[in-house]
Amino acid sequence: MTTDATSKGAPAGSRSLEHPAREDIRLADVLHALADPMRLRIVCALAAAEGELTCADIELPVTKSTCTHHYRVLREHGVIQQIYRGTAKMNGLRRADLDAVFPGLIDGVLRAAELQARRLGDG
């Protein structure tokens, strides 16, 4: 089962994107999405923002088409929500959904990413 942005609060008539329903989010899919360094960077940035960001707000050292791929994987695996607001595609971490189905997972991943960045001198 999937939901779309309209059911998540987007204005009627706006473009919508498919998102898995909370009950359809699977641990293996979330872990797969988080395993890529660029996607993990996106998730860390969204968590730090505590709100929505556009794709352009998060600088990634890859091509635009590769960025699009990474955002799509995160959305299709239930990690982020994407909603069009006018011409901007806004991205938000699905923290409430992820915390409900996998309590503590996102907090643990974010903490591990922070520790890794410190250890490797990236943070």
- Contact between 75 and 82 (Cβ < 8 Å): yes
What is the reported pTM?
Answer: 0.86
Residue 96, number of CB atoms within 10 A of its CB: 8
Mean pLDDT, range 52-68, rounded to an integer: 95
Mean predicted confidence (pLDDT) in 17-43: 97
Segment 78-99, tens digit of pLDDT: 999 999 998 899 999 999 999 9
